Structure 1
Amino acid sequence: MKRSLLVITILFLSIKTFAQGDGPKSHNFAPTGIWGINPKYLHLTQNLVPSGTILVDGAEFTIDVAPITLFHTFGIKGRYARVYAMINPGSATGNVEASPGVTSINANGFADGFVAMELGLINSPALTIQEFSKHTPTFTMTGNLRLWYSGTYDSEKLLNLGTNRWIIEVGTPMNIPLSTTPGKATWLETYPYMQFYTDNNDPARSARAEVTAQKAMFRIENHLTHNFTPKLWASFDFSYQYGGRTVVDGVDDDNLINILGGGATVGYQVLPYLSAYVGYGTVFAGDNDANVDMFRFSVAFTYANMKK
C-alpha cells in the first residue's frame, strides 16, 4: 500500500450557501478511501439572515464567510458512504428598518455548521479507485442526512451568525449522466431535500417574544455540468425553495420563502490533487422581494491510499 495523491477530479463540499445551495460536484459519486478538505470563500448581499433560512423584510445584509469542510469516503456493506463536517467562520453587517429609522448592525464569529453522512441507495456501490476508474457512469442516488448546529449567538444582539437551534436536513442527491464522452462528459446533478427546524427559545429579534419557531422548507438544487476538456468544466446552476415561514409565539409571520435562483460556475483541475472553481448566483424570481447576490470561490485538496 502506497500513500499517494489522488489523480482524479473529486468532491467539492460546502456550506449550504444560503439561496444558492451546496454548489456543483458537492454530491458526485466517488471512489472509497478518499480524504479531503474543502475551504471556500463566499461574499453575499441579501435580505435573508446569514443562515439563509429566514427572510427579513426591509433588511440588507452583507455577509463574508469562509466555510471549511472535512470529508472521507468509505464503504458500508458494499455501499458507497461518506462522512463530512463543516465549520463556518465569518462576519456580517447590515441595515434594518426600525423605529425611528434605519439601524446598522454587525456580527462576527461562526455561522451555523454541520455534521453529515451520505449513503448509497441506487447504483452506488463501494468502489476502490482502481474499480472506479473502470466504472461506466450511470444514474446514481444516495441518501443524505445532515445535522446543522448553531453558530455564534447572543440574544442581546439584533444580528447573529448563528440561529440558536438545530436543523435536520434529509435529501436524496442524484447524478444523471447525459453524455459519457471521455474528457467531455455532461451530467445533471439534482438534490431535493427537506429541512426541519427546532424552536429558538431565546429569540433576539423581540424582547416580548418567548419562542420563535419555523415551518419546514423544501428545496431542490440542480447543476447542469459539462467538461470542455479533462480539466476545464462549467455548470449552469438553478434551484427552487419553498417554505420556512417563521412563527412567533404562535403567530405566523408574513415571510414565506418562495425563490427561484441560479447562476453559473467555472472550474479547473489545477493539479492532480487540487481543484478549484468560481461561481456567481442570484435570485431570478421570488415573493416578498427576496434578493440574493453571491460570489463563491472554492478549492478542494484530496488524497488517498492506492495499491500498486
Structure 2
Amino acid sequence: MPIRSLKPLTPSIGLTLALLLCLAFTLPAPVQAGDAKGYVAPPDGTTGILIYGRHRTGNERYKEGKRDSQDANYNLNLQILRPVYYKEIKGIMTTVQALIPFGSVSVSGPAYGNTTLSTSGLMDPTVLFGIWPINDPDNKFWVAFSQWFQAPFGDYDAYRPLNLGKNRWAFKTEASLTKGFGNFYLDLVPSIEFYTDNDNYGAASATEKMDPLFRLETHFSYDFTPTFMLSLGHYYEKGGETEVAGVKQKNEKDNHALQLTLGFRPAPKQQLLVQYWRDVDIESGFLTHQYGLRYFFIF
C-alpha cells in the first residue's frame, strides 16, 4: 500500500513512520557473526550450551557510504543462550542448535529529535541444522553446511519506532571450509540469507521487503598451546536493501568489520572467548565497536 494513499496521517503516526524509516536497517545485526573454528566438529554425542554477552556502541551513522550523522548514540546489550547437540548418523556428523537472543537497544541524538528511543526483551530466535560431508580431524579438514531458520517471535509492535523483533521469517544457508596447517587454521564461511515480507511495518501498516543478504567470514587462528588461541576474523556483507510501501530505502549494505578473539580453556569441558569487534568500512548503518564474551560448557 503506497504511503501517499494514507493521507491524512495524524502527527503521531507521521512521526512514528518517519522515525521507522530513519531507523530502517541502520541498526547492526547483532546475532550473525560466527567465530574461528566454529565448524570444527566435536566428538559424537557432544551436548552443551553456549552463552554470549555483547555490548555494542556507536556514534556515526552512514547511508549510501556517506556519514549522515556523527552525534547519534547507539547502544546494544545482547545476551544469547545457544544449546547445541552433535550426533553422527551413518558416518555423517550432524548438529541441531537453537539461538535464543534477548537484550536491550537504544538510540538518541539530534537525528532522532533529541529524544531517546529504547526497548528491551526477546529478539527473534533461530533454529539451525548442520551436516559435515567431510569431517577429518586427523588431517584437520572440515567441510560443513547448515540451514538457519529465524522465526518472528521476538518483541514487535508496529507503533513503536524501535523493535527487537523483525516480524518476518529469515532463512540463511551457510557453508564452511576449515583447514588446519599445524597450529594455524583457516576458515572460509560464505552464506546467503532470504527474508519474507513484514506486512505490518509502522503505524501505517506498510509492507517492508528486504533483498537477500550475502555474507563472507574469513578467520585466521593460531593455537599457541592446547588451552590458548588467538584469531582475527574479517566479516563482509553485501545486499539487504529494504523497500517500504514500494519505496526503496537506499540502505544496501556493503560493510566490512574485523574481530580479534582470545580463546581460553579453563577446564577440559569449558571454553571462554574474549572478543573485540570493530567496523572498518560502512556503506549503510552505524559504525560500531563491540566487546564480547562467549562461554561454552559441555555437559
TM-score in terms of structure 1 length: 0.80
Gaps of 5+ in 2: 1-27, 62-66
Moved more, 169-178 or 210-219: 169-178
The CA deviation at 1:191 is: 1.0
For residue 40 of structure 2, what is the amino acid of its counterpart?
N
Distance 1:177 1:209 in 2: 51
Gaps of 5+ in 1: 1-15, 50-55, 126-134, 180-184, 304-308
Q: Percent identity?
A: 25
Check the 8 A contact 1:20/1:281 in 2, yes or no.
no
* Alignment-derived partner of residue 198 in structure 1: 196
Residues 26/46 of structure 1: CA separation in 2 closer, same or farther (3 Å cut): farther
Check the 8 A contact 2:239/2:254 in 1, yes or no.
yes
For residue 188 of structure 2, what is the amino acid of its counterpart?
T
Per-residue CA deviation, residues 103-156 of structure 1 (Å, 9 max, x unaligned), is: 3101110122200010112x227xxxxxxxxx4133321111000123111111
* Alignment-derived partner of residue 232 in structure 1: 228
Which secondary structure state, in structure 1, belongs to the residue aligned with residue 41 of structure 2? coil
Please point out which of 174, 191, 200 is paired with 1:171: 174
* Alignment-derived partner of residue 215 in structure 1: 211
For residue 254 of structure 1, what is the amino acid of its counterpart?
K
Alignment of 1:57-206 (within 5 A): 58=69, 60-95=73-108, 101-121=113-133, 123-124=134-135, 135-150=137-152, 151-179=154-182, 185-204=183-202
For residue 138 of structure 1, what is the amino acid of its counterpart?
K
For residue 124 of structure 1, what is the amino acid of its counterpart?
N
The CA deviation at 1:200 is: 0.7
Residues 57/107 of structure 1: CA separation in 2 closer, same or farther (3 Å cut): farther
Distance 1:267 1:124 in 2: 22
The structure with the greater share of residues assigned to helix is 2
* Alignment-derived partner of residue 17 in structure 2: none
The CA deviation at 1:286 is: 2.1
* Alignment-derived partner of residue 243 in structure 1: 239
Check the 8 A contact 1:107/1:161 in 2, yes or no.
yes
Moved more, 85-94 or 136-145: 136-145
Moved more, 57-66 or 279-288: 57-66
For residue 29 of structure 1, what is the amino acid of its counterpart?
A
Please point out which of 257, 262, 269 is paired with 1:266: 262
Number of residue pairs the alignment of both structures matches: 264
Per-residue CA deviation, residues 53-84 of structure 1 (Å, 9 max, x unaligned), is: xxx96554201011010000002221110110
Per-residue CA deviation, residues 261-298 of structure 1 (Å, 9 max, x unaligned), is: 11200011001111101000111112246412111101
The CA deviation at 1:22 is: 1.8
The CA deviation at 1:208 is: 3.5
Distance 2:114 2:81 in 1: 34
Which secondary structure state, in structure 1, belongs to the residue aligned with residue 39 of structure 2? coil
Check the 8 A contact 2:140/2:181 in 1, yes or no.
no
* Alignment-derived partner of residue 56 in structure 2: 44
TM-score in terms of structure 2 length: 0.82
The CA deviation at 1:95 is: 1.8
Distance 1:248 1:137 in 2: 50
* Alignment-derived partner of residue 278 in structure 2: 282
Residues 87/20 of structure 1: CA separation in 2 closer, same or farther (3 Å cut): closer
